[in-house]
Structure 1
């Protein structure tokens, strides 16, 4: 790989203009995990006429069964292009084996722990090297959970994080059947011969997910499960030691990751600056947003994207929303 970094091999795969935007696609080979075949795609968006004059960096992490197109459509519509046009230096990461990131040799055993321990720190290091600034991070669904794991596990240093925004991300919803050990064991047995879960077949998204991710989730939600890497690293407990600005966004119409769970994840952070935002009619929004619609929809474009930009610029919400957003209870010790 041609190197444009002093950290590890990095290849510039393409450099194109997409209308008023510039798009550079990098492929990183950090070689920092047990599987040395891992390569990570990172797409950088900016204004075509700005040259090297870049703004504050923002890294976007998509959720499960998804890729960079969640943030950036082929027609250059999405939160990514919106933030780029607002003057931010936008980086869109794709986890190992997703989108433009090739499948690694041990793809079927990939886990959130791999993403959090190895991939996000490598991405943070490269973006900091290229920009000279600590980036803001935005994650949706599993992308937000991965960010929480990286922070709770102390894999991402606080000086690598200007702020974090978690959309539709929670770990507290209880799946009661999995609390019965024979049911969990049976689920593991059924999955033993499976390598991937098809997003297109389940109508969940364009990407597959490795079975390692599913096994990991079964462990988290089992009878004595905790959010983390077993007993050796309790991410949930570690979040209480994290002190970076955090915005958590839930939605009244989100049936997959309910708003109360998103709020509970926020409450576990030890951060002095925490804000919670619920997207629903009761809060004055035009609709009870859903899990995807909170970021990918016409109403999101008009109502949610500007709020996200405001958070990135001020680490607060507009004055009309601040009183409710500040009413986050003290950190709870229960997951």
Structure 2
């Protein structure tokens, strides 16, 4: 089968109309990481009957224990369809082993460092090849954290990015017990006995997560831990990022609290930064939780237009 890209092998898995929307599903095989078996599913949404390339590209990155359905329900409801109907060229990525992306050979060792160093740059390159305009990236939770890692590590081409929106994303919430070395050792010993964290068993979502993510998080929160890997300090690197950045936090979010989301935003070197707290005190209908900030009826009315306006503002 002929590749849909000149960059690396890309298969067009399906091309369907879903009511008023067109849905193209691609499977990318970049071959740019040590594990050559990695394949990434990328769903493109547009208005049926119209050329997708006429719209401004927007890329959506799901969080942990999730997949494309966070943005795009089987009934074509979600932020993805909302933006597609508004005329944007919408791309929804699914991380290794999530949704339509198959599990790679070294799946259990997958971590944010792999996603940031290898997968997001490949996704960005392919989208730019298909629609040669800088894209607006929106990440929720771990998706936003991964995006911050890719930017802080200078893994992505800045000219391909128009703006960044981080929704419920942070790396500064401390777990002081994890800074005790014996606790770290025991934690690593226990975690290495597993291959995955089960989303269904933990009641966190429909997908599993590789144990490599948990081990990586332990290292970040250790006594001398940092947001980065052995080669690069992603946290420090964010101070050199000058892209427009929006941080959205829910006042009712216990997992990624507003103060920590704000701290991540303030680490960016951009002069175009905006922080929005979704709370009753700030005029919103409710104190939004971690999921509800993007998936709820009130989010459709209050948060989705906010993100659309951010993109339009950055295009001006």
Q: Normalising TM by the smaller chain, what interval?
A: over 0.9
Q: 8 Å contact 2:228–2:235 — kept in the other structure? A: yes
Give the Å deviation of 1:50. 1.1
- 1:181-196 maps to which residues of 2 (within 5 A)? 181-196=181-196
Q: In the TM superposition, what is the alpha-carbon distance from 1:189 to its structure 2 partner?
A: 0.6
Q: In the alignment, what sits opposite 1:278? A: 277
Q: C-alpha offsets along residues 141-176 of structure 1, whole Å, 9 cap, x if unaligned?
A: 000000000000000121121000000000000001
- 2:16 is matched with 16
Structure 1 portions without partners, runs of 5+: 317-335
Provide Cα deviations, 1:228-261, integer angstroms capped at 9, x if missing partner.
003x210000000000000001110000000000
Partners of 1:158 and 1:243 within 8 A in 2: no
* Conserved? CA contact 1:62–1:140, under 8 Å: yes
Partner in structure 2 of residue 51 of structure 1: 51
Question: Secondary structure of the equivalent of 1:315?
Answer: helix
State the partner residue of 1:297: 296
| 1:126-165 matches, cutoff 5 A | 126-165=126-165
Report the alpha carbon displacement of residue 292 of structure 1 after superposing the two structures with TM.
Answer: 0.2
TM-score, normalised via structure 1 length? 0.93
CA distance in structure 2 between the partners assigned to 1:55 and 1:238 by the alignment: 31
* 8 Å CA contact retained: 1:248, 1:266: yes
2:171 aligned partner: 171
How far residue 51 of structure 1 moved from its aligned partner, in angstroms, is: 3.1
Report the CA distance between 1:2 and its aligned residue: 3.1
Give the distance between the partners of 1:286 and 1:315, measured in 2 at CA.
Answer: 26
Q: 1:192 and 1:71 mapped to 2: Cα distance?
A: 32
CA distance in 1, matches of 2:45, 2:52: 12
**Count, aligned residues:** 315
1:195–1:83: structure 2 CA closer, same or farther, 3 Å change rule? Answer: same
Gaps of 5+ in 2: none
TM-score (norm 2): 0.98
RMSD: 0.9
Which secondary structure state, in structure 2, belongs to the residue aligned with residue 162 of structure 1? strand
The range that moved more, 153-162 or 142-151, is 153-162
Contact 2:53 2:131 in 1 (8 A): no
| Structure 2 contact 53–130 (Cα < 8 Å) conserved | no
Instruction: Name 1:214's counterpart in structure 2.
Output: 214
Provide the C-alpha distance between the structure 2 equivalents of 1:279 and 1:94, rounded to a whole number of angstroms. 26
